[in-house]
Chains A and B, each alone.
Chain A
Amino acid sequence: MKLSSVRHLTGEGFKNVWDNRLMSLASIGVLVSCMVLIGAAMLVSFNVDRAMTAIQQENVIMAYLNDYNSVRYSDKYINASSYKSSSAASSAASSAAATVTASATASGSTTSDGKDKSDVPYDDYLIHNDEEAKVVCDELKKLPNIESVEYISADEGIERLVGMINEEQAKYIAQLQEDGDNPLPAAAKITLTDISKFDESLQKIKGVAGVYSVTSQRDLAKKVTTISNAVTTASYIIIVMLMVIALVIVCNTIRVTMFNRKLEISIMKAVGATDAFIRLPFVVEGIVIGLISAIITLGLLYVGYSAVLRAMVGNIQNPVPYSDHVLLFAGIFAGVGVLSGFIGSMFMINKYLKREGSEFSALS
């Protein structure tokens, strides 16, 4: 086909969209709703993913070391309320630590080396400094099914903790640190190689001398994964159903144009125009509808997402910015739009062109 013909037929396609604007609008509406849902599902899943990484990976076990801080907050000493400085402070700190066990870890032994530790006898805890802690970490590394062991000192623990809590809490924690009163125990962040041997590995880690307690987010991670998988599956089903509806609507729009153009089509066929020639304006029409829908969706989703974030400010920690994925969205929407326009128009026009008999008579 000649370039001038392609140009002309493409123009015809655009003209069809306009001439048939009521149906075009309906198609665009349905395609946009469909793609907005796709985009929304993706944004939700991006944010869930980000939150999941914040909670912790499934195959990670935190081992808190048997140091001064671990022991002084144990039942034995808390109940005896022998630690004079502040039981209120310590319970606040430990509750903060509990909410973010994720990476909230540290050891008080090093930072509080210079301080008076008379409240807990020296022999009541095993780890007195970084060197001893690292020895425990090396022991942990020797266990089977261990991918990595990361030592997190009390100071590092505080830093990670400050990144995850609100400003007031952070100020309080920072104050504790300045006073040399870091309440966090030293910890080892252990990543497992094979998640299926989780329970076995957990027992072995507990058995290592110098490990005071262990926590993992496995059960929570499992729950969140199950829920997010269910949400994903449901949204896939909805998206597929919407895609089918979108395709039907696009097909119908093209059908209306074909009906409006049946006279031209019958003349073209009689004169010997090729199928490709007859088809092109319809395919262009479908693609234009798809592209317009993609652009509208991209804008609508931006406006909608911004509004949701504004409404939920404070409820979502650190949401995924729209701009991070705008190219991905543009690509997906353009792809979905163009593809449904293309498939819909090809399907309709081919069905008509392939029909044998009475092809010069009315379109039925």
Chain B
Amino acid sequence: MTGQNNQNTIIELKGVSKTYPTGTHALNDVNISIKKGEFVFVVGSSGAGKSTFMKLIMREEKPSSGEITVNGFKLNRLKHREIPMLRRTMGIVFQDFRLIPNMNVYDNVAFSMHVVGASKQQIRKKVSHVLSIVGLSGKARSKPAELSGGEQQRVGLARALVNNPALIIADEPTGNVDPNMSYEIVEMLTEINKMGTTILMVTHEHQLVRDFKRRVIMLENGRVVADNADGGAL
């Protein structure tokens, strides 16, 4: 790989396999390269290895073999205490939203800035900004329980965005919101992508993938079976 390539590549997997202690081969010899600024859907049937793929990139799991580079971090050589630095370059969106129930929308977003040591002024400025990006400025004082599933996931999105990540990782972010709301979420991710943030999103909603016409990586039995630039495989 040349130095130039290296600079444009944000995620690189070379010969990556993952076998869980239970003996399950979740991924087999996966080779994927994702450039900065790309919007990538990851699809595949249940148990295909999509979540394992995402977990390896977040360094929640370690590969059994092969090499992974994310945002310039060589994950094979990453020490435990260096993991937070890697995580600060990515925004993670959870399928189950993971909002703290007794905190309002504003505090939920501010929380993720606070825990990486941002100052009060920084937090005030940035939180209002990201809440306006996801269209929730008016609901800053609401508790998560008072919001719809779609709105809750938009808070999750705001939280993932607030620390200026180069990469957003979302494993089935629309899994718990109703279908028409799914479009809204992906629409929003598209807007974020336009500002330069790389998006990696797992989904099983094929119609959505077809409509948005982005790069699609298809996994089956832990292998990449298709990798198309515009959703053409589906």
Contact = CB atoms under 8 A, between A and B. Distances in A.
Contact of B115 (A263, A273, A359, A360): A273
Interface string B39-70: 00000000000000001001011100000000
B88 A275 contact: no
**Most chain A beta carbons < 10 A, residue from B81, B84, B98, B119:** B84
A2 B85 CA distance: 17
**Most chain B beta carbons < 10 A, residue from A271, A354, A356:** A271
B88 A263 contact: no
B225 interface: no
A359 B61 CA distance: 9
Interface in A262-278: 263-264, 266-275, 277-278
B92 A270 contact: yes
A200 to B, nearest CB: 67
B84 A274 contact: yes
Query: Interface range on chain B: under 10, 10 to 19, 20 to 34, or 35 or more?
Result: 20 to 34
Given A356-B61, A357-B60, A359-B60, A271 B81 contact: no
Contacts of B61: 356-358
Interface string A321-364: 00000000000000000000000000000000010111110000
A200 B72 CA distance: 83
B234 interface: no
A335 B126 CA distance: 44
A354 B80 contact: yes
B33 to A, nearest CB: 24
B84 A273 contact: yes
Contacts of A193: none
A268 B61 CA distance: 17
A287 B41 CA distance: 48
Contacts of A5: 114, 117
A149 B233 CA distance: 107
Nearest to A358: B60
A271 B163 contact: yes
Nearest to A267: B98
Contacts of A273: 84, 115-116
Contact of B85 (A8, A272, A356): A272
Nearest to A356: B62
B87 interface: yes
B111 interface: yes
Contacts of B117: 1-2, 5, 277
23 contacts: A263-B98, A263-B100, A264-B111, A267-B100, A267-B111, A267-B112, A267-B159, A269-B87, A270-B87, A271-B88, A271-B112, A272-B83, A273-B84, A273-B115, A273-B116, A274-B81, A275-B81, A278-B115, A354-B80, A357-B55, A359-B60, A360-B58, A360-B92
- The 3 A-B residue pairs with the shortest CB-CB distance, nearest first, are A272-B87, A272-B88, A273-B115
Given A1-B117, A270-B87, 14 more contacts: A268-B115, A270-B94, A271-B112, A271-B163, A272-B116, A273-B84, A275-B80, A275-B81, A278-B115, A356-B61, A358-B61, A359-B60, A360-B60, A360-B92
